[in-house]
Structure 1
């Protein structure tokens, strides 16, 4: 079994907001990414709150970030993924998402798994 066989296709992710988040990251689509975030959305990396715009520019968009999801839990609100970008290479990461009543991501947290 190859790593690709263990990857969950983005279209198969359970939660629509998380699915849109991962799709936007992998497409390097800043507009789609911002559209899935609730107004005032927040995030943390390795347990420390970060400036969302600055962090996502550096860690996702300017460095060509990409997520390969290995598993999901908590109704699709928690992921384990192989995350890669041009700065850090590939690492195993965990992601958790808080989705608001409007179906947008109010907060996400990530870090090494």
Structure 2
């Protein structure tokens, strides 16, 4: 069962999913702390290159199925025009100011 984005527990994660689903690159970038990092399937990636390729230029979309760790870990069906749909895990590190300093994703 999908969790409505507006009901996600962590405000930064809720904003992240909203920005991805709305293809809002400016809003997405505003959510990130300076120097934010990310990893995909356990390997660190260049955040700007990865998000351009995997999210914005390929119509990425998240449907969250469940959340844990206070809303900072989600299991979601992620789809884009490149890879189709896959079950993924997303884990977020959120700074005290509410911005995301790191996220990690991979197949769940």
Q: Shorter-chain TM-score: what band?
A: over 0.9
| CA–CA separation in structure 1 for the residues paired with 2:4 and 2:101 | 23
Matched, 1:74 2:69: yes
Instruction: Give the counterpart of 1:7 among 2, 5, 16.
Output: 2
Any idea what SS the aligned residue of 1:35 has? helix
Offset of 1:15 from its aligned partner?
A: 0.4
- Aligned-residue Cα RMSD (Å) equals 0.3
Offset of 1:69 from its aligned partner?
A: 0.1
| CA–CA separation in structure 1 for the residues paired with 2:77 and 2:12 | 19
The count of corresponding residues between Structure 1 and Structure 2 is: 108
TM-score, L = length of structure 2 = 1.00
Offset of 1:97 from its aligned partner?
A: 0.1
Q: Could you say which structure has the larger radius of gyration? A: 1
Determine the structure 1 residue equivalent to 2:58.
63
Query: Structure 1: any 5+ residue segments left out of the alignment?
Result: 1-5
Any idea what SS the aligned residue of 1:34 has? helix
Query: Structure 2: any 5+ residue segments left out of the alignment?
Result: none
Any idea what SS the aligned residue of 2:15 has? helix
| CA–CA separation in structure 2 for the residues paired with 1:37 and 1:107 | 8
Report Cα offsets for 1:43-89 as digits up to 9, x if no partner: 00000000000000000000000000000000000000000000000
| CA–CA separation in structure 2 for the residues paired with 1:64 and 1:34 | 16
